[in-house]
Structure 1
Amino acid sequence: MLRSLYIQNYALIEKLDIGFETGFSVITGETGAGKSIILGAIGLLLGQRADVKAIRRGASKCIIEARFDISAYGMRPFFEENELEYDDEECILRREVQASGKSRAFINDTPASLAQVKELGEQLIDVHSQHQNLLLNKEGFQLNVLDILAHNDDALEKYHSLYNEWKQLDRELSELTALAEQSRTDEDYLRFQLEQIEEAHLAEGEQSLLEQEAETLSHAEEIKAGLYRIEQSFFSDEGGLLSFLKDNLNTLNGLKKVYQPAGELSDRMESAYIELKDISQEVSSQGESIEFNPARLDEVNDRLNLIYSLQQKHRVQTLEELIALADQYRNKLSEITSYDDRIAELTARKDAQYDRVKKQAAVLTKARAAAAREVEKQLAGRLVPLGMPNVRFQVEMGLKKEPGVQGEDTVNFLFSANKNGTLQSISSVASGGEIARVMLSIKAMIAGAVKLPTIVFDEIDTGVSGEIADRMADMMQEMGDRNRQVISITHLPQIAARGRAHYKVYKEDSDTETNSHIRRLTDEERVEEIAHMLSGATLTEAALSNAKALLTRIS
């Protein structure tokens, strides 16, 4: 229930702070007094787009804040799911729009996203404006009416879960099928590339070994000549390094008896002699193994040229990357061959899920068919007192369609206000006043089935008068019973007189600005306001008497 509404610096409103009552209340005021401005401010709390032009001239920002009594709404799950502070008695929605264009939203003084404010706001207040009457011919709205009266909440939740899983499987299957088709197009190319790499019989580390061998073979004579010179310096009969070292070692050994340090020097020199002798033998062996082999050099270069050409073709730098690329080609080809099995498995899962969706959709259809008969019965009973004695209303359950978000049912509300008229889609045959009465009847019918949020009717009585207006007032008053809250913006005195509380919207002009205000009328002020609605600007005794008579009818 809407407890209070605070508006600051919005359009013609400088500051407004008004409390609201439970039950049925009315708001009246001259055309242009600011009723639509108040509804526009409420619209911001319902997540509508903010327009900086709505900020009062000269102000830096506008603020709209509403306090709701949510003690009977059981909304804890929403707050917990969205990690918002929860008060089981009161909820505060606030929207601030800066002149710079920035907009901020708050739930219980905690910053919230616009989506969160919109979701919560729609559960707290329902503004029924004239454009909402257009919903009456929308299949989604019609199905929603049937679901509410059929108490299909649990069945719909189960259906949505099954449906979403089915659609997910359908998307996965489509993606896999498209991938399979593309991969099959690439199969010949992949196979050719793989065969070309495999024919090379590449081995890890091979490239570096071949490059070293090619370098050695290309300089074989130079290497062999250099090793021979080194070998000669070791073993030359005249002045060979090992011969000189051996003589020096013998000299040191002869001095050990008379010169103690000679022993240590001898040991060190002997180690050097052994090492150098080993090196000389290795040099000799290496020199003998080196030979100039043009045939082997050609063979190595051909192998390297093959590796280099494959690297260049596949745009890689190393032999290991080529081998890894071959593995990738094998994996892709393996996937291609497995696509059929994967597609078959996913198709079977999708088909099984589709059967579950169809089965749950049938549960919805059965409940809706029963609810449709109840809608026909209740609406006829509600519309007859609203000036349609010969009304006929039928809920047509059409041919089933492919399962969608709301099931597989097609539904159409058929209407005829005349006894012998042909039943047709309601929007094509009903007048604006008739559609307004049907919508009011539907909302009243829904109010009897579920706990509706605060409902604001914006001139739903357009196009009616007299006794029909009385009956519409009865219906809104009935909706306001049992601690529900219904607020009607009206120009009809018959409806204005029926509210538990009466609020008036009015403008005040000064030399520099115009301000819109709203206030609750006292009993005496109500008499005058309704008398003005009956007679116009000039108050007459007859109008005052009629106003008092209308007000005495409030139960």
Structure 2
Amino acid sequence: MGRADQVALSARTALLRLTIEDVGLIARAEVAFDDGLTVVTGETGSGKTMLLGALGLALGARADADTVRTGAERARVVLEIAPDAPLRARLAEAEFALADDDDVIVQRDVLAAGRSQGRINGIPASASQLRELIGTLVDVVSQHEAQRLLAPAYALDLVDRFAGPDALAAREAVRELHDALRVARERVAALEDDDGRKLARAEFARFALGEIDAAAVEDDAEDERLRERRDQLANAERIQTTLATATAALEDDAGAVDALGAAETALSALARFGERYADLAGAAAALQSDANELAARIARERDAVELDPAELDAVGERLDALDALKKKYGGSLAAVRAQRDAFAAEVADVDERDERIAAARAEAARLATDLRAHAEALGKHRRAAADAIAAAVGDELAALAMPAARLRVAL
């Protein structure tokens, strides 16, 4: 490329195409990355550095207004990538989920005013997200890029990649367990933090539950039956008097029973003159029988009427208690009974809180144990790789006539 620049891509991920519009002196250019080595050549000033700069924009590099071609409204860079499984997982975790057959399309626009806009498969992405998710895929190696070795995260990634697939798998497991442990600890903290509020609410629910249960509401219509009974007791004398009047109207001399009997006798005398008169006599007899039965029923109701001031007081007190419950817990006995079930569920939920907290703590402890085990495995891979890197570099240094030079990888 005219200088010691080279683009290297992480294993199993492939760059497909880089499209550039209005970047620097480039109106439009497209670079397709086929299998194998792609070399871009040209004289000094032909735009090789601009091409690398455009690639850097897609990787999240800093952008400014000087990037935009003179006279253009904006510069645009589009990078197409065939993703591997780890990249798909990282993108999904950052809420840039892909379909199984989707490539990654990274677009970065730089406006003439200097502001930039990034997107990953059409979803807005900040420059920092591009650096974190896409920037790690490509290494741009130039005369100053060796300084990146001073960054611990970069050096550690080199060690992991040198260690091979098992180390990378262990690193991914550590990352997943670390995230899961963080979530588990947040759940424990949330349960413990919510404990005080739930306890306060549960105390009220427990009190209300006891109050409702102590009232022992029979059913949704108990208050209606009690109001009817209260009206009967409060008007017992009037009811008795009225029933007695009705009985007398039926049974006294010249009452309805005697009148119907007289009618039946008179009509029976006409029965010899025709069947229809006999039918009328039979109807009068039936009415007299019904009147006798009605009089007996009224008499029984009259005798059943109770003048009981004590029961009247008791019914009134019960209604007052039920009305107080309705006023506090919903306006009707049906609402009171429904609220009672809600209070019972709330009390049960809080009573089980210790079990939930214990389960959450146990899950966090299990994840912490698993994390330590996987971290130890990753550490072994890294230590072995560090020794191998030091030995391999030592051999290269010796071949370069620097037998006393040593590389040490400190973890």
Q: TM-score range by the shorter chain?
A: 0.5 to 0.7
The aligned counterpart of 1:402 is none
Note the C-alpha offset of 1:210: 1.9
Whether the aligned pair in 1 keeps the contact of 2:76 and 2:109 (CA below 8 Å) is yes
Provide the C-alpha distance between the structure 1 equivalents of 2:70 and 2:272, rounded to a whole number of angstroms. 118
AA paired with 2:247? E
AA paired with 1:143? L
**Alignment partner of 2:138 out of 104, 107, 126:** 126
The aligned counterpart of 2:249 is 233
TM-aligned CA distance change 1:67 to 1:320, over 3 Å: closer
> Residue by residue, what CA displacement relative to the aligned partner does 1:357-387 show, whole Å, maximum 9, x if unpaired?
212211111111112223444566778999x
The aligned counterpart of 1:367 is 381
1:307 equivalent in alignment to 2:319: no
Query: What secondary structure sits across from 1:395 in the alignment?
Result: coil
More RCO (CA 8 Å, sep 6+): 1
**Alignment partner of 1:296 out of 311, 314, 319:** 311
Provide the C-alpha distance between the structure 1 equivalents of 2:257 and 2:63, rounded to a whole number of angstroms. 100
- What TM-score, normalized to structure 2? 0.66
TM-aligned CA distance change 1:16 to 1:317, over 3 Å: same
1:284 equivalent in alignment to 2:296: no
Provide the C-alpha distance between the structure 2 equivalents of 1:173 and 1:40, rounded to a whole number of angstroms. 46
Provide the C-alpha distance between the structure 1 equivalents of 2:228 and 2:145, rounded to a whole number of angstroms. 84
AA paired with 2:365? D
Note the C-alpha offset of 1:284: 2.9
AA paired with 2:374? Q
TM-aligned CA distance change 1:67 to 1:245, over 3 Å: same
> Residue by residue, what CA displacement relative to the aligned partner does 1:134-188 show, whole Å, maximum 9, x if unpaired?
8655544443332222221322344345444444443443333334444445565
AA paired with 1:298? D
TM-aligned CA distance change 1:371 to 1:98, over 3 Å: closer
> Residue by residue, what CA displacement relative to the aligned partner does 1:477-518 show, whole Å, maximum 9, x if unpaired?
xxxxxxxxxxxxxxxxxxxxxxxxxxxxxxxxxxxxxxxxxx
Provide the C-alpha distance between the structure 2 equivalents of 1:193 and 1:141, rounded to a whole number of angstroms. 62
Whether the aligned pair in 2 keeps the contact of 1:255 and 1:262 (CA below 8 Å) is yes
Provide the C-alpha distance between the structure 1 equivalents of 2:259 and 2:176, rounded to a whole number of angstroms. 97
**Alignment partner of 2:236 out of 220, 227, 252:** 220
The structure with the largest helix share of the pair is 2
Matched pairs, number: 380
Whether the aligned pair in 2 keeps the contact of 1:159 and 1:361 (CA below 8 Å) is yes
Structure 1 residue runs of 5 or longer lacking an equivalent are: 398-555
TM-aligned CA distance change 1:20 to 1:389, over 3 Å: farther
Provide the C-alpha distance between the structure 1 equivalents of 2:291 and 2:61, rounded to a whole number of angstroms. 94
Whether the aligned pair in 1 keeps the contact of 2:76 and 2:107 (CA below 8 Å) is yes
> Residue by residue, what CA displacement relative to the aligned partner does 1:187-229 show, whole Å, maximum 9, x if unpaired?
6555444444444344334323222222322333443344344
TM-aligned CA distance change 1:64 to 1:391, over 3 Å: same
Note the C-alpha offset of 1:300: 1.6
Q: Spell out the pairing of 1:88-103 with structure 2 (5 A cutoff).
A: 93=105, 95=107
TM-aligned CA distance change 1:384 to 1:310, over 3 Å: farther
Whether the aligned pair in 2 keeps the contact of 1:65 and 1:95 (CA below 8 Å) is yes
- What TM-score, normalized to structure 1? 0.52
Whether the aligned pair in 2 keeps the contact of 1:64 and 1:95 (CA below 8 Å) is yes
Query: What secondary structure sits across from 1:394 in the alignment?
Result: coil
Q: Spell out the pairing of 1:523-542 with structure 2 (5 A cutoff).
A: none
The aligned counterpart of 2:185 is 170
AA paired with 2:240? K
AA paired with 1:359? A
Whether the aligned pair in 1 keeps the contact of 2:57 and 2:77 (CA below 8 Å) is no
Note the C-alpha offset of 1:299: 1.9
The aligned counterpart of 1:209 is 225
The structure with the largest strand share of the pair is 1
Provide the C-alpha distance between the structure 2 equivalents of 1:221 and 1:263, rounded to a whole number of angstroms. 44
Note the C-alpha offset of 1:304: 1.8
TM-aligned CA distance change 1:310 to 1:3, over 3 Å: closer
Whether the aligned pair in 1 keeps the contact of 2:21 and 2:28 (CA below 8 Å) is yes
TM-aligned CA distance change 1:124 to 1:138, over 3 Å: closer
**Alignment partner of 2:332 out of 318, 321, 324:** 318
The aligned counterpart of 2:161 is 148
Provide the C-alpha distance between the structure 1 equivalents of 2:141 and 2:348, rounded to a whole number of angstroms. 61
Provide the C-alpha distance between the structure 2 equivalents of 1:277 and 1:52, rounded to a whole number of angstroms. 112
Q: Between 178-187 and 130-139, report the one with greater CA deviation.
A: 130-139
Whether the aligned pair in 1 keeps the contact of 2:387 and 2:409 (CA below 8 Å) is yes
Note the C-alpha offset of 1:281: 3.2
Note the C-alpha offset of 1:301: 1.6
Provide the C-alpha distance between the structure 1 equivalents of 2:336 and 2:256, rounded to a whole number of angstroms. 50
Q: Percent identity?
A: 19
TM-aligned CA distance change 1:192 to 1:28, over 3 Å: farther
Query: What secondary structure sits across from 1:82 in the alignment?
Result: coil
Provide the C-alpha distance between the structure 2 equivalents of 1:164 and 1:338, rounded to a whole number of angstroms. 27
The aligned counterpart of 2:19 is 6
Whether the aligned pair in 2 keeps the contact of 1:10 and 1:41 (CA below 8 Å) is no
**Alignment partner of 2:368 out of 351, 354, 360:** 354
Provide the C-alpha distance between the structure 1 equivalents of 2:124 and 2:398, rounded to a whole number of angstroms. 42
Provide the C-alpha distance between the structure 1 equivalents of 2:278 and 2:226, rounded to a whole number of angstroms. 50
